[in-house]
Amino acid sequence: KANRIILAIETSCDETSVAVIRNGKQILSNVVSSQIDIHERFGGVVPEIASRKHVESITVIMEQALKESGLTLNDISAIAVTQGPGLVGALLVGIVAAKTLAMALDIPLIGTHHIAGHIYANELVAEMEYPCMALVVSGGHTELVLLESEGSFRMVGRTRDDAVGEAYDKVARALHLPYPGGPYIDRLASEAEEAIPLPRAWLEADSYDFSFSGLKSAVLAVINQTKMKGLELNEAALARGFQESVIEVLVTKALRAVKQFGAKQLLLCGGVAANRGLRASLQAKCEANQVPLLIPPLSLCTDNAAMIGAAANLKLKRGQYSGLDLKADPGLSL
């Protein structure tokens, strides 16, 4: 079919999203309904509440996405859905909706990996060239993924404890900032005149893995010691120290990986790609090393269904369909 129209569904965490994508490239609609205001008062995503909200929203969002695309259900070639990783109850809502549609319309169902989605968000705005290296940074992920060819994923490094976004959110919480705290820390850091020095976790010399729990503990130690001594905490300087440590490690390892694996491009993906310090530092380092850097617009970096449609398009082209027995897999590997 010349016109491959995918209706994609994403419900792995706290965003209910449905998109309609043409030929893996053109976004006809991409509706995202965030639950952040609901989870905010709990200081994090409450899985049971997330599932219920997805159930309430999914059909409404689906109707809206279809309407905005200007198409009808009869124009859809395949249904894509996030299979994992994510919260199992949240994933199930999207999967049940996807199966129902695929069965009723008698069209292919395509289970998709959430991280493949974050990476292929780049294909919606640019041309990916292989081999390329993706730095995936979000509330649940911190990974360096090598793509040797289209649709082939090789994890070369990952966090051994907290994800970057998670570390940001925990540090923000310790500073009594709202959830999710990443953007607040980012802003605080940019206002700081100095940085409180904090450790960098390089791990083994040849490792592309990351670790952020030690850094988080170091931040908490500074907060506690300052309090115990009765001193006033320079929160901006602490935020900047934390951000500098995170960015230096991420950027250094990403560029080292690009070199070692001969990647033609570096792709920055996931919600933490919103971080101004990280973007600026990556841009400068990539420019200095003549490495093309791709960063999708922010609306495609945070969780959305368009990216799932883009990743699913690769499978649709190859006829890699899922059965109606597709299962949610919270720990799905790439």
Residues that bind Zn ion (CB under 5 A): 138, 303
The answer to whether residue 183 forms part of the interface with ligand KG4 (CB under 6 A) is: yes
209 marked among binding-site residues: no
- Stretch touching ligand KG4 by CB under 6 A, among 53-61, 165-173, 206-214, 311-319: 165-173
* Contacts (Cβ under 8 Å, ≥6 apart) of 280: none
User: How many residues of this chain interact with ligand KG4, rule: CB under 6 A?
Assistant: 19
Out of 274, 314, 326, 334, which residue is the one contacting ligand KG4 (CB under 6 A)?
274
Question: Considering the complex, what minimum distance in angstroms separates the CB of residue 33 from ligand KG4?
Answer: 13
The answer to whether residue 169 forms part of the interface with ligand KG4 (CB under 6 A) is: yes
Q: Give all strands of the β-sheet with 132-137 in edge-to-edge order.
A: 154-158, 142-147, 132-137, 265-269, 293-294
* Contacts (Cβ under 8 Å, ≥6 apart) of 242: 171, 185, 189, 198, 215, 219
The answer to whether residue 138 forms part of the interface with ligand KG4 (CB under 6 A) is: yes
The answer to whether residue 296 forms part of the interface with ligand KG4 (CB under 6 A) is: no
Out of 186, 209, 235, 244, which residue is the one contacting ligand KG4 (CB under 6 A)?
186
The answer to whether residue 13 forms part of the interface with ligand KG4 (CB under 6 A) is: yes
Residues 252-271 within binding reach of ligand KG4 (CB under 6 A): 270-271
8 A C-beta contact, residue 132 and residue 144:
no
From the number of C-beta atoms within 10 Å of its C-beta (0-12, 13-18, 19+), residue 43 rates as: middle
CA angle 108/323/91 to nearest 5° reads 90
- For residues 79-117, one letter each, b for 16 or more C-beta atoms within 10 angstroms of the residue's C-beta and e for the rest, the string is bbbbbbbbbbbbbbbbbbbbbebbeebebbbbbbbbbbb
Nearest residue (CB) to ligand KG4, 276 versus 318: 276
The answer to whether residue 94 forms part of the interface with ligand KG4 (CB under 6 A) is: no
8 A C-beta contact, residue 123 and residue 139:
no
State the binding site for substrate.
136-140, 169, 182, 186, 275
State the binding site for Fe cation.
114, 118, 303
Site for ligand KG4, rule CB under 6 A: 13, 138-140, 165, 168-169, 180-183, 186, 270-272, 274-275, 302-303
